[in-house]
Structure 1
């Protein structure tokens, strides 16, 4: 215990003793003569009364002293749930960081508490709370690089770094140099905000204002809080990306409308100057106006589809997140933890929903890369049998009761030069689509060689597609309009991404279908890269 702590405790107990001593003195002064009448018995009762009075004084004054010297007591589990629920209400990242700083401060009372956020530049200082006052960092300096040894150490060990362990524990020697910023800023605890194997940020805590050491409960609270806040932080970042995407689409549409309006005005002036025949000029002007109206209606339709997509994407993101959060909460129940089968079932559901969330985010990012023209393809020699074995493992998770999946794979298939990851993504999207629209029945996945191309197909016995809708199903955001499909949901991105990938890889995609009989989605890919490049050109 340091000298400051001793002085603080001494001062507190002097105040407490003085308060109680004054009270006892007054009582003694007033009741002394009266107590003497009862002799030893009266004095004994009086002493018991003094002891009880001392107890009441201590019980009354101690909480005030604890608050004054920042020694608040808390219940670990209740505090963890309370802070996590408060953080989960945040929509934006800055709002979340401020809430976390204030909540942690009001429980542990660190002299200083900072948040570092994972960005493209590195881990930047985002916000701090010092002596109870929160300040948002405007400049956001980089504190750690993304490849820093300290970051790699945290990814591997997934635990809190304590200041006093940097000198004592040999396993920390490799990262001691990287921790220079934390040492210079008198940090005591470095808490990673984790999302699976990724570090999305850090909580940096200084010494406690009470000058006490961090306890085991403090460490346990911070470690679990790091995992929970990491998940919530990832959700707010995804939400902000969706909003940014919406703004970009809106700006693009507004720019297109302005461009078309300008073209109309220029066309109108050119027609008036060039045409001597007023009737002919009016006719052409009317045609131009109708063309603009059609363009406007088309842009309006795209805008409506975009708004619908934003709404659907938000819902599709929220659905697995809600499931993950719900089953994670259930897993905190001691009875469920002891039941291995139930725990295994819940973890399987969490894993399935996490994969679903990951696939949705991948589709959104691929869509963004296509629009920006930054999407890349990794051409390599691909073993189709190995790919199909991987597909079988993934597809088995999708198949539900009342549904079976078969494979018709031709023998002697050659290795092809293509992008393996995109091929897997195309096949899984088509299988997932078949599962979604086949209540009961059979799905068949087939592969065969046709000349210089490999022909893939996914056949189902589902609800089928009306002829009027077959040409539209590969459009972005388009969803078949039926009561069954509305129940199943989806973003309308899967088939449009399949078309983009197949055509960019040098193949083509089409569908054959009959209502209430089922559908077959076909696509081809060239065997050799040269065929691929020629086809793309």
Structure 2
């Protein structure tokens, strides 16, 4: 009995170029039957090699150690059956067809074999069908494997998509980047099962540091905050978006990385860059420490998809952070603007500026310094806590700073590491005692003139972005506005104070002049009335001819003297009244008087001298009966208004109209005279102002009547208004309150 046949057949004569050979396992204890199978396959020009066995032990060994494309087995041998061969094939996990080659097999037995898992069968007397059955079975299994591979691919894709969806969902649920990246590394670790999974991100100096580590990572606590030294060696590849695979056995990796791989016990490393629009935002790193691992295309594809989503999430978080930062910056600027607009106190405004700047930049100290007489003096200060030493009032020579650290107060000064400055001086040495000090200073110009600067000191951060420097310059501009306003306000206060003093002096002079004028007019009026009384008295006696008769010419002259004396007396009385009112010595005798009687008394004075071409009219509302006023002064006002109307009206009518409103009685004198032009109306109520003030005056008068009447009206708490149009007459209205408020 032959135990093992291991006959590698020679290549057939008509072998197709490049066509692979089939590897067959033939289970048969009869050599002649094996040869017949071989002949049948060669006749069909099938390229193959084969192994032949006749016992289960060797069959199992071959199935465990070699890969075959098909098994040809006799249905029943003396030692075992095809069912046992099928069992061994299933245990080997090889998905290949098992074809029975049998002498006789009934239909029922064939169905049972197919149900059990055998692929097909061929009768020995019909071996010419073996090539066809073999090819059909191979095609069937190839299709089955293809379907299984498709199913596996679909499952992997579904798994990848599920992971990606979970990451995307996490991005949608929160804008907190740390939470998104933490859930990403945990999900990726569960999917790919590496030894370590983490995300590294760059700092302000573009150095990569481990920030987010999965919960299942080996030695997780030791990884957090570790600097990544791999990135500089593959910077160009990462900028192109390439995924880097590093193997322990790869002799081409840099020597520095070989030592790193040994120290971290790394067998394989997979790194996917986080790239967004040519900007490297970090990377996802996978370590495999327990075995040599070959990363397949599906795993790399999954990592690539997740890295793309992470890059988008980081970019969105950066945009959101920038938006929040811009909002906070604009809020700070608005608060500073409100402080400037709400107060003129420079101390308060500048203190608010340094406070808001410190809170906005989250620094330790903010100062405003002035440069005077080549000295830097700190004039305002804000500190984040009382533990920060105060520099308020500190003064130092500007020349020493310029020489020591190339400091220019006229431009932006930025020193991320003051302790690293090599220059030495007393002031620089003091600054160097503060560890990790970062200084940023911007100049302040007031109307293009240099004032000083705004400076921030930070001990917990070493980087200020271009946007932050620009913001500090904008705040310095606000401080310049506040300082300019303060200077302008101080100058304005000085000017106002000086002008107030001048006005007070002028007022004192004016009051003194007015008092002197009033006293002069009052004294002169009294002095003039004494001889005038004698003139009027003597002229009256002469007119009455008590001491003898007069001829016509003498009567004419005496009458002229008497008329002129009366006119002069009226002028003197008006002057006395005016000066008394201006001096505040005029007192009204208010009483309840009959309006109708007062009006009739006033009109009676003009009835006898009324011209035939001129009509005198009177109209009073039926609901007007009494009013509260000084009767003598009310008559004086009305007589003055009527006299003025008669003076400037030759034909037409003059009307005294009385009506009332809820708060006052209106006495209106309406004429159809010459009217008053708008420019003349503006000066109408000023003393000694007349409509015809030229050399050839047509109308008599002193110009005191209207001025005195308005003052008397206002003394009652009322007023006199005028409405007039040149050539169309005038209307003067006395407004007399129902309850006079004496002014």
TM-score, reference length from structure 1: 0.37
TM-score, reference length from structure 2: 0.28
Bigger radius of gyration among the two? 2
Structure with bigger helix share is 1
Q: Which has the higher contact order (CA 8 A, sep 6+)?
A: 1
